[in-house]
Amino acid sequence: MIFSKETTLIIVDVQKGFDDPKWGKRNNLEAEDNIAKILSAWRQTQRLVFHIQHLSRELNSPLRPDVVGCEFKEIVKPLPHELVVQKQVNSGFIGTNLEATLREQGCTTLVIVGLTTNHCVSTTARMAGNLGFETYVISDATATFERTGHDGKHYQAEEIHAISLANLHQEFATIIDTASLLSQL
């Protein structure tokens, strides 16, 4: 796998609100550092980058548009010429111009990173695969939080992360890590 110049990076929801303790324990605290490495490589090679931003409609969400948590984290903040797509649901494709813009730009291969693995990253990757894009999700450039299931069973963040990636792999996307991606640019 060699990634062409047309391969597009999609950074999903790397926003300050995900630092809020309300989310619980998180896995992969290095995710943002890995995303920054990937973003730097994309910028150096002048590949296309999309930044997805979640604008929550929930009153107590740290990702509401009227709070600081909605802002992008400084480590991966978009440059003025980079495309920002704002969404209100889990998928970067629903209610946005993401698909149309990707098609207009001739993009066929997508690399997806961001937060959170089991929600917006997974949903965006699933739709990308279903829409016919060759899709890669970078395992160590995504992260998620612990959760309690409907039955009261508690799931650690690392377990949710691993299962979410396993569910995507070879069905909706190919899962690789940052080093593998960067070695193929």
Percent of the chain with pLDDT over 90: 98
Stated pTM of the model = 0.97
Position 1 scores a pLDDT of: 74
pLDDT score recorded for residue 2: 81
Average pLDDT over residues 68-81: 97
Strand extents, DSSP E, 40-170: 49-54, 83-87, 109-115, 134-143, 147-148, 154-155
- C-alpha dist (Å) from residue 109 to 8, 10, 31, 103, 119: 6, 10, 21, 11, 21
Structural domains in the chain, CATH included, are 8-183 (3.40.50.850)
Q: Verify cis geometry, omega within 30 degrees of 0, for the bond prior to 116.
A: yes
Instruction: Output DSSP code: residue 139.
Output: E
Token output for 145: 């939080």
pLDDT tens, position by position, 121-156:
999 999 999 999 999 999 999 999 999 999 999 999
The rounded distance, in Å, linking the Cα atoms of 84 and 106 is 18
Please say if the pLDDT value at position 15 is more than 90: yes
* Average confidence score pLDDT of the chain: 97
